Amino acid sequence: MKTKTLILSTSAVLTALSSGYTVSLQNFNAGDATAVPIVDNTGTPIPAGGGFIGAGTFATAPTSVTESRDITLFGSGLNGFSNGLVGPDGVLAGFFSNSFSDPIPEGTTTPPVGERLYVVMGNGATLADSTQFAILDTGQTFGTENAAGSGGLDVILTSSSLNPEALAVGTVLESYDYTGVATFDEAIQLAPIPEPSTSLLAALAGLGLVARRRR
């Protein structure tokens, strides 16, 4: 199975439901080959039933993996990689189809209305348990329900529109080989949060450079 036109349907598809405003997330299109698997920092796809996926806002635009847990999540729903893409070997991992709902009545002007929508993907069962992350900047902002109580906003990223700048955190891999079973044009790889010792060494190295310059 070779992906040609790839859809990162990391569709944060905000659709209109009777329950209010709904954010729907999906990274495969109708179960066909136009998909973008999510993989950890070793290149292993996040298994179905594992991982974390959520949507929401940040107080300021995130620039590093250490800020991943600062997201204010939107709505209630299932936060795991709950759906797989069916391939020649059965169910392929690294795919999700989720939705999160909350009321945002018409006329609301307080957050998240007007704030940028981000999608956070992690390798743990929860946001707090995850140690590797990718953050997708959808380029869209939250709105409100209409007079009928429904809201709508679609975000569908294809291989032609997805670029490294769309990921505030994480890496876009090209020509990702799924264990010899399928080759995808792209995949999103999670970035690990640095170990405390690594961060400390980096900080000490920086202080050492400053000290040397002052002598």
C-alpha–C-alpha distance, residues 173 and 39, integer Å: 10
pLDDT at 74 > cutoff 80: yes
CA angle 186, 180, 5 (to 5 degrees): 30
CA angle 134, 199, 119 (to 5 degrees): 15
Please give the residue that has the higher pLDDT: either 107 or 2: 107
Contacts of 63 by beta carbon, 8 Å cutoff, 6+ apart = 168
Would you give the DSSP letter of residue 5?
S
Q: How confident is the model at residue 132 (pLDDT cuts 50, 70, 90)?
A: very high
Contacts of 70 by beta carbon, 8 Å cutoff, 6+ apart = 58, 59, 62
Side-chain-side CA neighbours of 52 within 13 Å: the count stands at 22
What are the angstrom distances between the C-alpha of 175 and each of 3, 31, 133, 183, 187?
9, 19, 21, 6, 8
Q: Of the spans 81-90, 94-103, 120-129, 157-166, which averages the highest pLDDT?
A: 120-129
Q: What average pLDDT does the chain have?
A: 80
Share of the chain above pLDDT 70, in %: 73
pLDDT computed for residue 151 by the predictor:
80
- List, for residues 49-70, the tens digit of each pLDDT value: 899 999 999 999 999 999 999 9
CA angle 135, 141, 144 (to 5 degrees): 130
Q: Which token pair is 106?
A: 């018409």
pLDDT at 4 > cutoff 80: no
Q: For the purposes of burial, counting CB atoms within 10 Å of the CB of 73, is it exposed (0-12), middle (13-18) or buried (19 or more)?
A: middle
**Domain ranges for the chain:** 7-214
